[in-house]
Homo-oligomer: A and B are copies of this chain.
Amino acid sequence: MSTKLRVAVLGAKGRIGSEAARAVEAADDMELVAALDRDDDLDALVGAGAQVVVELTAPSAVMGNLDFCVRHGIHAVVGTTGWTDDRLAQLRTLLAGSPGTGVLVAPNFSIGAVLTMKFSQAAARFFESAEVVELHHPNKADAPSGTATRTAQLIAAARAEAGCAPQPDATVTALDGARGADVEGVRVHSVRLRGLLAHQEVLLGAEGETLTIRHDSVHHSSFMPGILLGVRRVVGAPGLTHGLEHFLDLNLPA
A221 CA / B248 CA spacing, docked (Å): 34
Q: Which residues of B contact A181 (CB under 8 A)?
A: 174-178
Q: Which residues of B contact A179 (CB under 8 A)?
A: 143, 177, 190, 192
Q: Which residues of B contact A203 (CB under 8 A)?
A: 135, 191, 193
Q: Is A123 an interface residue (CB 8 A)?
A: yes
Count of chain A residues with a beta carbon within 8 Å of a chain B beta carbon: 87
Q: Is A253 an interface residue (CB 8 A)?
A: yes
- Tell me whether B131 and A126 are in contact (CB under 8 A): no
Q: Is A107 an interface residue (CB 8 A)?
A: no
- A173-206: CB near B (< 8 Å → 1, else 0) gives 1111111111100011111111111000001111
A180 CA / B188 CA spacing, docked (Å): 9
This chain's copy number in the assembly = 4
- A213-240: CB near B (< 8 Å → 1, else 0) gives 1111111111111000000000000000
Q: Which residues of B contact A73 (CB under 8 A)?
A: none
Q: Which residues of B contact A128 (CB under 8 A)?
A: 138, 194
A117 CA / B92 CA spacing, docked (Å): 38
Q: Is A9 an interface residue (CB 8 A)?
A: no
CB distance from A250 to the nearest CB of B (A): 4
CB distance from A208 to the nearest CB of B (A): 3
Chain A: residues with CB nearer than 8 A to chain B? Answer: 110-113, 115-116, 118-119, 121-123, 126-131, 133, 135, 138-144, 149, 167-183, 187-197, 203-225, 243, 245-246, 248, 250-254
